[in-house]
A and B are shown apart, each in its own frame.
Chain A
């Protein structure tokens, strides 16, 4: 009885969200136009229109849109649960997130007043013209950014996560020595290898994978050719759900762009291009302080990276537009974070003058640009690249830099990483802890960026295939543990944090799928 109610509620919600969308009006138009066709009979109007929509592919588009809504809908919860409970059920985590946000905003405010740069201002006409002309080559600009510093770096965020304490948790020595091994003290429920084996069953040793079975010295007829054929069929059928399932075993390089766009239901229709142009107009009209932070971040990270420096101009275009996209605000319903509020022209008492700063509510941190950089290999059209990135951010990446109890949230990933090593490599964990090299201190930076910038690009894309396919970031924690397992022998011999970091400094030669497969399916338990 309850499931029936839940289903009706979900359906009503999705209908409400799709109503008035561009897809809705397109389907209506198609339905109207098809009435002229001879095979549509008045007696069986409903069925004939329905079957027309099915054969012309519009029903599939609707299915994909519904599937996308299911990914981003609020979790169904008790009617009396307040909105903040939907963002994050645990009170102490909400509190920690709020105080972290306050710290970040204070830092941003003081940067603005110290440097005398307003948080946002209208560009004068000459400047607007200049930026319009320079739009495709913003990388050639070398503004003086020495006074600007990133608002925070991942290691600052790690300290906050380490200090997370549940006030109701008994952390006295007698309770559990395990709670004192690692850095994370939140008792979240994380999955161990037996449970992960069940969820990630497509990665097992006997199933063909891209990243393993497409290796040069394995004949393509054994696996690769057939797999690519199936992939082509999935793209032809334009089915989101099938694409997501397919992606679990990897996406062929030539089909990956289409498959990811299908999974994310990211179209590049005229209205998407128009939306992007509207954002670009927002960039030209108003100058934001966060733009400087973005510039600085791109210069410090992506521009210095051998794989990504060529895409510098694209990154500016995507990020400057991202900051101005109010559509991103929707994801705060299920994100534990809250968009910062400000008042235009200092009119603090006037609610009419209340705005969100920046318009998308997301303040970039050091390394943020690495979320987009790998996507530049897949999409060369800015509006398409933008649309795919935005969808990936509101489904996955936001969880990597906000405090929440979600199984894909960074707190759970850190705990899962620590538990996997504690359980399956206890000697290594103990040794590293003894020499003052807590494993999480080394692995955190990898996980916060979902390994972007640490792996070679082809390996990173194979990893992100699985993130999309399984709709979970847990694979990132598993890979982090697998890397430690792989380098365990060397790590057992080091005697300091610096040498442990050195052993794990270069991951660019790693092949990630074999590592994950061996760790999950060949570890003795």
Chain B
């Protein structure tokens, strides 16, 4: 119906249709307390560095990953301003994003997440390296980390095409008075369009309902359930 038609929208494609940035995810470094390695107590903090190839920087659109029992993550960026001699600077882009509502229980522990540039306090442009600081305060888990960390580059949106000057100079001619007994052509054409659209929808009616047959050409002789 008309209502349904109005509600159909095309979804914008997701970032993973783009290619992820090539980067190296360094092995997670768990911070321990205590002097000797054998005495070290787990602090529940771990650092994962994701670096771009040497010398390269990128503008980041989104970082995606799958959680593996991390309770919260902080994102720090190493940004290098282009063309400047000054050394690259670290800044905090996102502090303590909670991944698990309750660090002691399973909620969110294996879910997929993405961090978009709009969630970051600092613009993730000209980034040479990203540092993810993972925290898991609960002692319930043997280990914690993030899996399948990927970063996607930011692309500038296309500038809106400008309408030619002479087109915008055209104005509706309001001076003509409408004859009283003829309906307003604008409303007639819009309602005609709607009726056309209605018939279009009815013709293109593709049902998602299944037919309900469970047999193959009338045959449903089964001897063994497949276990693979």
Contact = CB atoms under 8 A, between A and B. Distances in A.
Interface of A: 1, 5, 8-9, 11-12, 15-21, 24-25, 27-28, 31, 42-43, 45-46, 49-50, 77-81, 85, 89-91, 102, 105-106, 108-109, 112-113, 118-122, 166-170, 175-176, 186-189, 275, 278, 282, 286, 324-327, 340-346, 348, 352-353, 355-357, 359, 405
Interface of B: 1-4, 7-9, 11, 14, 16, 64, 68-69, 101-102, 104-107, 109-114, 118, 139-143, 183-184, 187-188, 191, 194-195, 198, 201-202, 205-210, 212-216, 219-227
Nearest to A106: B227
Contact of B225 (A15, A20, A340, A345): A340
Contacts of A342: 222, 224-226
30 contacts: A11-B7, A18-B4, A19-B205, A27-B1, A42-B191, A43-B191, A49-B2, A77-B111, A79-B16, A80-B16, A90-B110, A91-B110, A109-B225, A118-B222, A119-B223, A120-B221, A122-B221, A169-B140, A169-B142, A170-B142, A186-B106, A188-B106, A188-B107, A189-B107, A325-B212, A340-B225, A341-B225, A348-B226, A353-B216, A357-B222
A139 B141 CA distance: 54
B225 A105 contact: yes
Contacts of B2: 46, 49-50
Contact of A78 (B1, B111, B212): B111
Given A20-B206, A168-B69, A343-B222, A45 B195 contact: yes
A19 B226 contact: no
Contacts of B1: 24, 27-28, 31
The 7 closest A-B pairs by CB, nearest first: A20-B207, A359-B214, A78-B112, A189-B105, A120-B222, A119-B222, A81-B112
Contacts of A90: 106, 109-110
Contacts of B9: 8, 11-12
Nearest to A118: B223
Nearest to B188: A42
A166 B106 contact: yes
Contacts, number: 188
B208 A16 contact: yes
Contacts of A326: 210, 212-214
Nearest to B111: A89
A286 B219 CA distance: 9
Contacts of A109: 224-225, 227
Given A12-B7, A189-B102, A326-B214, 6 more contacts: A24-B205, A89-B110, A118-B222, A119-B222, A327-B210, A355-B216
Contacts of B141: 168-170
Contacts of B4: 15, 18-19, 24
A1 B118 contact: yes
Contacts of B112: 77-78, 80-81, 85
A187 B106 contact: yes
A46 B223 CA distance: 57
A348 to B, nearest CB: 7
A37 B214 CA distance: 44
Contacts of A85: 110-112
A20 B118 contact: no
B40 to A, nearest CB: 16
B22 to A, nearest CB: 18
A120 B212 contact: no
Contacts of B224: 109, 112-113, 119, 342-343, 346
A114 B184 CA distance: 81
Contacts of B118: 1
B208 to A, nearest CB: 5
Given A91-B110, A345-B219, A346-B223, A45 B214 contact: no
Contacts of B64: 78, 80
Contacts of B222: 118-120, 342-344, 355, 357
A233 B198 CA distance: 35
A484 to B, nearest CB: 23
A465 B98 CA distance: 36
Nearest to A77: B112
A189 B101 contact: yes
B181 to A, nearest CB: 14
B216 A45 contact: no
Contacts of B191: 42-43, 45-46
Given A46-B2, A340-B225, A188 B206 contact: no
Contacts of A345: 219, 221
Nearest to B199: A32
B65 to A, nearest CB: 9
A356 B3 CA distance: 37
B219 A122 contact: yes
Nearest to A179: B140
A458 to B, nearest CB: 36
Contact of B205 (A12, A25, A81, A166): A25
Given A19-B206, A20-B207, A45-B191, A344 B216 contact: yes
Contacts of A80: 14, 16, 64, 112, 114
Interface centre among A50, A80, A105, A340 (most CB of B within 10 A): A80
